[in-house]
């Protein structure tokens, strides 16, 4: 019973963190609910795949876990084949957050989500400030 409760908590955290990755925090950008739902569902799928595969016996745990990792990455790439490269990378990060959460590393997934959200939000500003410094050196 305890493993079932832990599994439910893992997929809830994965769903929330997956939606948080695609959420736009600035108010002037257009927000699409379908993108947030797709991101959270990919994270949920990845978390549930790895969480279920970790319940297999130790003799075949490696094969089943690697198959679930490949299946979640393949599903992410298949569902985002018509998206641009930036969206594909964000969806792959959402899937990776689901895999990390499904493995039981919830705190690491939270830290990774915070890092991805901050990088997504302030990445352009950082790159612009670095390019200005490079031009000043030359």
What is the per-residue pLDDT across 71-83, written as a single tens digit (0 to 9) for each?
999 999 999 999 8
Mean pLDDT over 65-91 rounds to 90
Kindly report, residue by residue over 24-39, the tens digit of the pLDDT: 776 666 667 788 888 9
Residue-range domain boundaries for the chain: 2-137
The fraction of the chain above a pLDDT of 70, given in percent, is 84
pLDDT of residue 47: 92
Which contacts of 89-95 are long-range, i.e. CB under 8 A and separated by 24 or more positions?
90/21, 90/22, 90/39, 90/116, 90/120, 91/22, 91/38, 91/39, 91/42, 93/21, 94/17, 94/18, 94/21, 94/22, 94/39, 94/40, 94/42, 94/43, 95/18, 95/42, 95/43, 95/45, 95/46
pLDDT at 117 over 80: yes
């Amino acid at each position: 019973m305890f493993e079932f409760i832990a599994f439910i908590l893992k997929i809830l955290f994965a769903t929330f963190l997956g939606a948080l990755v695609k959420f736009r925090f600035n108010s002037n950008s257009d927000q699409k609910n379908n993108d947030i739902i797709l991101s959270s569902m990919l994270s949920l799928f990845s978390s549930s795949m790895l969480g279920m595969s970790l319940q297999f016996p130790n003799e075949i745990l490696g094969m089943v876990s690697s198959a679930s990792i490949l299946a979640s990455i393949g599903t992410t790439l298949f569902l985002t084949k018509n998206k641009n490269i930036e969206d594909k990378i964000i969806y792959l990060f959402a899937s990776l957050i689901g895999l990390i959460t499904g493995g039981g590393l919830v705190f690491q997934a939270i830290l990774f989500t915070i890092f991805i959200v901050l990088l997504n939000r302030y990445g352009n500003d950082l790159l612009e400030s670095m390019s200005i410094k490079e031009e000043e050196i030359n």
